[in-house]
Structure 1
Amino acid sequence: MNRKKWKGNLLLLLTALIWGAAFVAQSAGMEQNGPFTFNTIRMILGGIVLIPCIALFDKMRHVRLGWRSEDKNLWVGGCLCGVALFTGATLQQFGIQYTSAGKAGFITALYVIFVPLCRLFAGKRPGKLLWGSVALAAAGMYLLCMDGSLALSKGDVLVLLGAFGFTAHILIIDHFSQKVDGVRMSCIQFFVAGALSLVCMFLFEAPSVPAILSAWAPILYAGFLSCGVAYTLQVVAQKDTDPTVASLILCLESVFAVLFGWLLLGETLSMKELLGCILMFVAIVLAQFA
């Protein structure tokens, strides 16, 4: 594996770590705020934090790429990513209200299977070793997140539909990341997702300033780190790695969520959950050989 691929995979691993810790922030931020309100603020914060980053990167590279309206790939890619992100994040937030966190984590992470399936329909056949990695990752996520029941509730269906949104997000990034500046595209996607959430917030919820301020810490984490930093790392890193491998690495957010629960909340890992973590890491290693 060349140096760029190693760098891209390490950045994706950091992304998964940030997202894993964000499960705590998402849960806390939703205690007094609706899903659209929470997503509106964190998405817009994610876009805002990238504006000075773009100026800094331009200065470091001694270039000024600008935001030319004629650059269709940048704007089309950013808007499509924003719609996919809005769809996945919204369905996930609503689904979590009606199902257990374990089931939500497993079902969301099914994008690790949906990505190679979608590429198969597009005529791109993953190798047998990569399919083995996908199977191991799915088994690991089951052991890590599920309690033995596979019955689908209303919340499970919503989270499953959200997983298709995140699948589309990964594939859209794979298509456009080679053609545009990744940080600019990420900035556009957050403002698009934030604008869509804002409209829904005023239509379906009654946002309250005191409620928003009471959740300032989880909102800031979700906005600046989970959105502004992590999603941008995803866009930048996917330039140098295969989308199926990227989805495998990103699904490690489930492992990190459990580990952060153990470190920060005192939760313990059963032997079944530890075995699930091991299987997922083996899947990642196999994917690198594939």
Structure 2
Amino acid sequence: MNQNGESSRGGQIGHGRDHSYRSSLLLFLAASIWGVAFVAQSVGMDYMGPFTFNGARSLIGGTVLLPLIAFREQKQKKAETRKETAEERKQRRKITLIGGVCCGLAICTASMFQQIGIQYTTVGKAGFITTLYIIIVPIMGLFFGKKVRRIVWAGAAIAAAGMYLLCVNETLSLNRGDVLVFICAVIFSIHILVIDYFSPKTDGVKLSCIQFFVAGIICTIGAFLFEEPTWSGLVSGAVPVLYAGVMSCGVAYTLQIIGQKHLDPTVASLILSLESVVSVLAGWVILGETLNLKEIFGCVLVFAAVILVQLPEKAGEAALMSGADS
């Protein structure tokens, strides 16, 4: 009886770890795509304004998901063993729509605060302040009754230190732009928690598709109100817009939603913070930007933090203790 019970429980734990590792890999892929997208966004700004760029890439991101949704719908219909009732279908669609709208509003608002704020501060300070969601997410989670392991707090602190070394090259002082980017970090934290709430209740791909159409429509309206979008600008900046739309929006944000289903939101935020590391490496490889010793050490700290929070609790605490003893 005990042997069977232990075997069953061990199988469940192993299955859970498999889900955790798979989810971590999906989030790392998302962070890598976003990191390279910083280069695309930097180039895209040469041809159009922030509202136009964000509107175009969001609408592209939503559009490329439509064929995938249709394919999945057909596949699910064939695999169904029980027909959904009309009430169940209505409830599921309602949750998906509400979740998609909430995610779309959050991601649209955060992106625009970041884009506007960066005009009044340095890129390095903006990068560091944005990734403060590493700390903000677990703090917000406490208000929703989410317990955070000590190892995760330690990982968040190490990652924040790494982000500082990686992104900040001058004395940290707050100005108007810094405040706007900090608001962006708070809203990105809300976005992570909203996904954590809705992703287990609905289809992640549909949720992602709706959020992009919501963000794309809002940004497009903003483009016509505050900018002068032109077809020539969109054509000239087609490559960065397509990368940001197809890969950054359509692929990466969908990977985030699917990946977060089996991970604590604080751990997810730590893995997603690797986008800053990848962006520095992408700038180094693609744009020829250089990394100094301080920035390289910052990259190492962030990677170490992400690896630390992936360890089982006892092993992670042992690693912390051995680090303290040495």
TM range (shorter): over 0.9
Question: 1:11 maps to which residue?
Answer: 26
> Which residue, 200, 208, 212 being the options, matches 2:222?
200
TM value normalised by structure 1: 0.95
Question: 1:151 maps to which residue?
Answer: 173
Question: 2:10 maps to which residue?
Answer: none
Deviation at 1:29, TM superposition (A): 0.9
Question: 2:204 maps to which residue?
Answer: 182
Instruction: Confirm or deny that 1:20 pairs with 2:35.
Output: yes
> Which residue, 184, 205, 213 being the options, matches 2:235?
213
What is the distance in 2 between the residues matched to 1:143 and 1:188? 37
What is the distance in 2 between the residues matched to 1:155 and 1:101? 10
3-state DSSP of counterpart to 1:201: helix
- 1:81-230 matches, cutoff 5 A: 81-230=103-252
Question: 1:37 maps to which residue?
Answer: 52
What is the distance in 2 between the residues matched to 1:140 and 1:217? 32
| 1:23-77: CA deviation from partner (whole Å, max 9, x where unpaired) | 0111111123111111110100000000011122334443589995543211110
What is the distance in 2 between the residues matched to 1:211 and 1:69? 42
Question: 2:307 maps to which residue?
Answer: 285
Larger-gyration structure (1/2): 2
Question: 2:278 maps to which residue?
Answer: 256
Deviation at 1:115, TM superposition (A): 0.4
| 1:95-126: CA deviation from partner (whole Å, max 9, x where unpaired) | 22222221111111111111000011222231
- 1:221-240 matches, cutoff 5 A: 221-240=243-262
Instruction: Confirm or deny that 1:51 pairs with 2:73.
Output: no
Structure 2 vs 1, CA of residues 69 and 27 (structure 1 numbering), >3 Å: closer, same or farther?
A: farther
3-state DSSP of counterpart to 1:2: helix
TM value normalised by structure 2: 0.85
Structure 2 vs 1, CA of residues 152 and 143 (structure 1 numbering), >3 Å: closer, same or farther?
A: same
Letter in 1 for 2:309: A
Structure 2 vs 1, CA of residues 262 and 115 (structure 1 numbering), >3 Å: closer, same or farther?
A: same
Segments of 5+ residues of structure 1 without an aligned counterpart are none
Structure 2 vs 1, CA of residues 4 and 30 (structure 1 numbering), >3 Å: closer, same or farther?
A: same
Deviation at 1:187, TM superposition (A): 0.4
Letter in 1 for 2:45: M
| 1:170-193: CA deviation from partner (whole Å, max 9, x where unpaired) | 000000000000000100000011
Deviation at 1:276, TM superposition (A): 0.5
Letter in 1 for 2:304: V
Identify which range, 65-74 or 30-39, moves more after superposition. Answer: 65-74
Letter in 2 for 1:147: N
Letter in 2 for 1:160: F
What is the distance in 2 between the residues matched to 1:77 and 1:249? 23
